[in-house]
Structure 1
Amino acid sequence: MMGRYGNTLWRYLRRWIAENHSERYPDEERTIVYYARGSIPDFEQDLNDAHASALTRHGRVLDPHHERDVMISIMGAMKRHGRTEKLVYFTGSDENGKTLSYEEQFDIFRRASTVIGPHGSGLANSIWTDPFPAGCERRVKMLEFIPARDSADVQILYNGYYWVMRGMPIEWHQVTYAANSTTDVTYIRLTDLENALDEMWGPKN
């Protein structure tokens, strides 16, 4: 497959996306997308109800009480590193449970400067991020939660989108699930998350 676009399928896909979806947004409209595998929770209401609802739809859902701590950690790191983007909580559905249109999902991920969340189909939307960023420092950053040896019951060991999408201009980072994770409910170590966020958003040596 040598030729104008290179020798990998991803080169063709990147070119097709650039030619057919050339939208770009100014920095002040960029976002940080947090992908959740459950429904949109109301953190002011009973999280047990949100948890039960999520488990009826998906597996590998972050425990809602734990997810609240994850969100707090992300917001703290945003403040610590001067990130001014809007934090978007993405489930693939709106607040009424209606699936977002392809156009809406495209728009969310094209605006993203960073994508964070557990491995799952929602992260596949990262193909809509900027296919030809202006320099390595402008690449979208991805922080994906994946299973390791001490959490191998969750899913296939080290299953993540890097192995599928490494031809895309994405800066990849990973955090592994904690040992108490199951196929239904997952956890990550908050210290690992904090370290990964600092590494991802901090100054480069």
Structure 2
Amino acid sequence: MRCGSTASWWPARRRRGPAHGELLDEPTSSADRAAAQTLYRALAEERARRPLAVCLASHQLEDAYRWADDVRALADGRLSPVTPENLFRVELPSGGGDLKHVCVGTIEIAAATDKTGPAILAVPPTDIFVSREPLASSARNVFTGRVTRLTHQRPGAVLVTADVGVELVAVVTEEAARDLGLTPGGPVVFSFKASAVRVF
């Protein structure tokens, strides 16, 4: 798509008549920020007006988290078993300074942000520290739960999925998984800093 063509694409598309779905491949890759936001707002307005499924491929994770109802990841041309990060749609409270506490499922996640209102919290699996017992640390987020699944993602890496009140996914080395004795159904503690939580 040529630079500047994003803003004019959607009105032209609407003149063609209603469709049940749209497949958009990197529609904002060459657009400036203002044009990209215009497109996303137009899509949101159209979806509010009538049923419309939109499948959008993008490398812009911030836009994906902000505008999508569901995010799927591809790895080596195949659908990944998890999204790039643990994602939670939340309402950030006003006040409280730069450290917000947000209820997600049955747990409360601390996030370092001054934002308020609707947002997406994203916790990178590589930023989650995995242990068998709570450890003394500066992490504001410490959750105890049970391992639900171990997945060998790539040589030397294991995805650890756990129920800690919500489902979270962490990444550890195969050696760490063995040393910790991680098994499905076994106890686990996930810890991460408030500053590790990305807010969109």
Name which one, 1 or 2, has greater alpha-carbon Rg. 2
Q: Which structure shows the bigger proportion of residues in strand conformation? A: 2
Higher relative contact order (CA 8 A, sep 6+): 1
Fold shared by both chains (TM-score > 0.5): no
- TM-score, structure 2 normalization: 0.23
